[in-house]
Amino acid sequence: MPRTSFFPESFIAQIKDAVNLVNVVSEVVALKKTGRNYQGLCPFHPEKTPSFMVNEEKQIFHCFGCGLGGNVFTFFMQYHHVNFPEAVSELAERLSIPLPKTSAGERTSEAGQPLKEELRKLYTQAAEFYHHLLMKEKIGQKARAYLTYRKMNPKIAEDYYLGFAPEGWDRLVSFANQKKIPISILEQSGLVIKKEKGGHYDRFRNRLIFPILDEQRRVIGFGGRALGEETPKYMNSPESAVFNKGRVLYGLPQATPMIRKLNQAVIVEGYFDLLSLHLHGFKQAVATLGTALGSFQIRKLKGMAEDLVLLFDGDNPGIQAALRSVSLFQQEGVSARIKVLPPNTDPDSYLFEVGSERFSAEIEKAEPMMTFFFNQQIKGVRPQIQDQARIVDRLVPHLNALNSEVERAYYTGWVSEKLKIPESVLWRSLKDSKTPRRGVDRIQNSIKEEQVPGLEWHMIEAILRIPRAASLFLNEDREDFFESPEARAVYEAMQKTYQQQGEVNPGLLLNHLDDQVLKNRVSALAIRVFVNQKDEETFLSDLVKRIQLRQLQQQEKALYREIRSKEKSGITEELRSLLVMKKDLLQRRKEILIASKG
């Protein structure tokens, strides 16, 4: 089923017109204006120098590192891992444009509402319910006392919309019944659990509740801290259609302004660590949901700030978690700094122990992650030769895996000094065990080969880059011109766009292309900018000549075929006129060639 059938095409065009790709990308990638394009670090592949481009006028993006490109829908789908109808409805919702009545293809609830919307509505109602109990009700006294014990104030409880799920099995269940929330939605939310013998009971009981918000500040899930002896001490609501633990960071919506302002994000693991940091004014802090940091979260943060500081508990699990995060950051090609706190402390307890000023100094002292990593590796290594040989074997792959030559040189020198091994020895080991080329290089190469453009692609490029080329090339029927089926598909989509809009805006054109490979190719061509007007003129006039020549060649070929067939039947009037035409064609070709030399 073609995806446009989910929504009327006019509706999709309306959304596309109303939304600015630059704004949507800026939410997650720090963009800098360079000439007519914006540039930033690609959120889809690891990189340290920006090869990700956005063009506002054309409403397209393209990454010259991994080759991905497209328009606002492509970006939204790829970044947020949603399908096309979901991308359209999410963007519509942000713009407050009402959706056409429920579209086919989307998962809907029994009531016919889109499932995600129903879930978010329920989570919001549940958050309000829990929050009210914490702040206003007598029953919430116990939880309020616990917050005081943890040195949290009511403002924090307000800012993070904390809540309280009291003891008892059916508090939320009966609240939901009152509110007439369909039981199927309640089940899918994970906030209630189905009993074997029928009926349901609350998942969160006797817990302090941390509502988890997405970047649009909508409630999408919950964390809960036991107030009694319940196990586990912390738990999260299960993943649902709107909640994916690896993709959200607790406190991110509240922290975003400060992260951007300071160009720094401080990352912790626990709910209370985060609340303590914010209470003490470290409003650039975010937390994973008590779990290890994942690659998706790293990509999200790298687009927001350059200085990423990871804080870990001062115990062995903390150090192990820090080491694991180093390899993950390396995979993503992102740098971070690491601070492991003193033994037997976590960010929450340490902050209250030493106060903001000292804590701030500790954050500043966080080590570059590779320094931390190599320090951990050589810790306790004895100066004996066996130990030294073993450690060199272990370190070499890590030195080779460093993303930049500068880093490799720096850390090779560093290791050499720490272990008292001549640098030349290390360098020889590095050369001997060269790691295979990185995946990204391979992708890049395959794209380069594939994109050697022929005349057909040059014509498409011209239409994409030079607005007036559309009327030059799109008015004629060029059925025979295209040999490549891909180029023909793009050309046909261009004609369609041109007929509808009177122009070919690349962002709009991409709505008519389904194949992601074609989108990548089109965005790569469209995002290039001419250095000056003269280059543009030359490009276009050369192209016009080459196309004329190609057409002449095709005509010649056809003519020769005809002449040969006529020759067999002897010289006739017909053949004579064909020969005249041939002479004429050759003359025109000569003229074009002479003109192009001049």
User: Residue 434 Cβ, how far from Zn ion at the closest point, in Å?
Assistant: 24
367 contact partners, CB below 8 Å, separation of at least 6 = 337, 338, 339, 375
Q: Please give the Cα distance from 411 to 461 (Å, whole number).
A: 45
Shortest Å distance, C-beta 401 to Zn ion: 19
Inter-residue contact 268 to 347 (CB < 8 Å)? yes
Q: Please identify, using beta-carbon distances, which residue of 179 and 438 lies nearer to Zn ion.
A: 438
In the complex, minimum distance from the CB of residue 192 to Zn ion, in angstroms, rounded to a whole number: 42
Nearer to Zn ion, 86 or 332 (CB): 332
* 3-state SS, one letter per residue, for 495-540: HHHHHHHCCCCHHHHHHHCCCHHHHHHHHHHHCCCCCCHHHHHHHH
Please list, residue by residue across 121-133, b when 16 or more beta carbons sit within 10 angstroms of its beta carbon and e when fewer do: bbbbbbbebbbeb
Token pair of 79, please?
């970044």
Q: Which is nearer to Zn ion, 65 or 347 (CB)?
A: 65
Dist CA 381 CA 359 (whole Å): 31
- 104: alpha, beta or left? (left if phi > 0; alpha if psi -120 to 50): beta
If the CB atoms of residues 53 and 147 are measured against Zn ion, the closer one turns out to be: 53
Minimum distance, C-beta of residue 72 to Zn ion, in the bound complex (Å): 17
- The answer to whether the beta carbons of residues 290 and 296 sit under 8 Å apart is no
CA distance linking residue 185 with residue 189, whole number of Å: 6
Extract the tokens encoding 429. 């080991």
In this complex, which beta carbon is closest to Zn ion, that of residue 42 or of residue 419? 42
Task: Pick between residue 62 and residue 337 the one whose CB is nearest to Zn ion.
Answer: 62
For Zn ion, the closer of residues 45 and 299 by Cβ is 45
Nearer residue to Zn ion within complex by CB, 370 or 524? 524
User: Is the dihedral angle over the CA atoms 76, 80, 85, 90 positive or is it negative?
Assistant: negative
The CB-based long-range contact list for 447-454 (8 Å cut-off, 24+ gap) reads 447/67, 447/520, 447/524, 451/521, 451/524, 453/525, 454/484, 454/487
Least CB distance from residue 53 to Zn ion, whole Å? 10
Q: C-beta of 252: minimal distance to Zn ion in Å?
A: 23
Residue 44 or 201 having the CB closest to Zn ion: 44
Cβ-based nearer residue to Zn ion, 63 or 208: 63
* Closer Cβ to Zn ion, 147 or 334, answer by number: 334
Minimum distance between the CB of residue 144 and Zn ion, rounded to whole angstroms? 48
Distance in Å, CB of 397 to Zn ion, minimum: 25
Q: CB of residue 67 vs Zn ion: minimum separation in angstroms?
A: 7
Smallest distance from Zn ion to CB 545, Å: 36
Task: Kindly tell me which of 329 and 350 has the beta carbon lying closer to Zn ion.
Answer: 329
Minimum distance, C-beta of residue 41 to Zn ion, in the bound complex (Å): 9
Count of CB atoms situated within 10 Å of the CB of 452: 7
Among residues 65 and 221, whose Cβ is nearest to Zn ion?
65
Is 15 buried (19+), middle (13-18) or exposed (0-12) by CB count in 10 A? buried
> 131: Cβ–Cβ under 8 A, 6 or more apart, which residues?
161, 162, 163, 209, 211
Q: Would you state the structure tokens that stand for residue 336, as one six-digit string? A: 């971070």
Task: Write out the residues near Zn ion by the rule CB under 5 A.
Answer: 42, 44-45, 63, 65-66
Smallest separation (angstroms) from Zn ion to the CB of 48: 12
State which residue, 42 or 259, has the beta carbon closest to Zn ion: 42
The sign of the CA dihedral 99, 100, 103, 109 is positive
The residue among 212, 215, 166, 158 whose CA lies nearest residue 189 is 212
> What separation in angstroms does the CA of 2 have from each of 42, 140, 168?
29, 53, 50
The least distance separating Zn ion from the CB of residue 497, rounded to whole angstroms, comes to 26
Q: Closest approach of Cβ 63 to Zn ion, in Å? A: 3
Q: Which is nearest to 483 in space by CA: 510, 459, 516, 448?
A: 459
Look at the block and give the residue holding tokens 């995979």.
331
Shortest reach from residue 52's CB to Zn ion, in Å: 6
Q: In the Cβ-directed half-sphere of 209, how many Cα atoms lie within 13 Å?
A: 31
Closest CB to Zn ion among 65 and 290?
65
Torsional sign, CA 369, 370, 375, 377: positive
ω into 238 cis (within 30 of 0): no
**Cβ distance 222 to 271 under 8 Å?**
no
